[in-house]
Structure 1
Amino acid sequence: MLRTLVHEGNAPSAVPPAPASLRPTPTHDVRFGGMSHDSVRQARIRPDDWSDGAIVLGWRDGMAGGLRVDRHDALILQVRLGETEGRSPHREVVEGGQPPMVLRAGEAILHDLRQTCIVRTPKRTLLIGLDNRRLKRVAEDLGILDADPLDELVPAYGAVLADPALHNLAVSVGETLARQDRWADVIRRPLTRAVAAHLLGTYTSLQPAPETVRGGLAPWQLRRAQDHIRSDLARPIHLQTVSESCGLSVSHFARAFRQSTGIAPHSWLTRERIAQAKTMMRKGDRTLADIALACGFADQSHFTRAFAKDEGTTPGRWRRRVEPDSRHASRDRGPVESVVGGGG
């Protein structure tokens, strides 16, 4: 169940004590400081309050104060839903390593709980907390398996976000706070998920995995096969092992892999080996013969033929073009390059 803390006036809602097994979790202080005329209260978010990976807090009647968060692997989205009635637009100062900013109605700011931050919480402010587990689940549903969402969102932390779509989602989340029945939890769960998806889709460079091609591999199968092949490029590929990891026969796997990628598994392996060889050649600290063996080619001659077929030039020429001062440049000129037209 999504946990919700609603602060109204000077009566913060009670937070149930955390189980003893969770209390040693490192705590992180995120202070939400009120204006001088506001009363100050304390609230604490414990690990069990994040049981479903999200938490919502609403400041509606001027409540402000300190918030203690018992975890680091999360973020908090602070959204200003509206101005205080009868008052001029409120200027909210946001501090904590960031220059002073103004947060007006309709704007939001993203706080990284891995960093200490200080913000003000005027009336009509909504806080939506999302832990990294919830963010990863959203990313994984789109086939993004290797990313750390909190790291991917680093460029957005501390910036004022004038994002109407994000604001509308936050308003919808906030409207569920008026309900105290179980329906509110059912409604709130997809809304907080939508907030997570919007943040990742708008403020990161993450790209969903391609949709399953008809007759091709499922996203998880393609990812598993590629990871298996990449795990040790120096060794020969055994389609039997790779296909079994995907639950398919060798013939079915080979057809589906080609359908999904446009090339056969062996050709894809060769491209990965060449990509690794390029990385090693840029470092300039190993000979082409060493690189060929490290990347799974039978010898330098085999490497040269495969590289030239894919790149249209020899490894030695490519290396001299990108690393003209490589101490191996002269050694790379050898009879082996005559295979595709000389060492140049």
Structure 2
Amino acid sequence: MSKNPLPSNRNMDYLRVQNAKTIESSVLDKGTVTATRLTRDSPGHGYVRQSVIEDAFMISVQLRDYCGQLWIDGRWIDFPIGRAGNFTLYDHKRETEADLQTAFDCVNLYIPRSALDALQHDLGAGRVETLNVAPGADTDDPVVRGLAHALIPAFEQPAQTSRLFLDHMGLALTSHMAIEYGEADASRLHHSGVLAPWQLRRAMELVDARSNGNLTLVELAGACGLSVSYFTRSFKRTTGMTPHRWLQKRNIEKVKDRMRKSGTSLAEISIACGFTDQSHMTRVFRRLIGTTPADWRRQIG
């Protein structure tokens, strides 16, 4: 018989938002970072209270200006406005209550203690005791804002989002929060080198074999005998791009090669080259090449 999961605020049920969209990212195969997009177009959502007290943090990134009331451990917090693009940090070790007064659209990022501890072990850094952001503070952080916005397409098309991309996003978010707000030692981040030829070859063989993106950073790093954070930095120093971007470019090169050599339909090519369908392939192809596969095929005759 499987055990019931421990109570958690991870799924954001306590916010009572219908049609919430959630995606998950494994950080170093230990802690799962959850991202949820919550939207309400009308004011007056009302009172909410977190489900449980737990060792975790929630970063709420506003996609539109928001106003409401906030209480932490029963004490009213001055919270004049959450501006679009900024974030508010919530420490789930403290009891949080809110009156959600205006319409809202936000990306809520849940980071459990297990993710922070896994990062600390991977970096060999000291334990992150807390994230130092004042309760209710409306924080302008371009890195957090960029990560939240990068996840928006994944909420709409989760089947077309690779595991490598989600793992990279989760690792980037957790690392940034731990270093910028948790006083984690970042000195090791500046000492990664490039991958040895055999490591690069092994990583590329794995990515090639799993072209649908169903591959984790933990698997790639393990195949190279490296920690995840060290591997990720070294791969980018070696190739100039993240594993996820390299996978996309490699798959597009496969698409172009097949179009050069055969008259196979674009729908068949898309599946053979690791995409979920033709529309998925077309979006990635247009973003990287600047035109559609059909137009590119016509141009080469």
| Greater Rg over alpha carbons, structure | 1
> Normalising by structure 1, what TM-score?
0.42
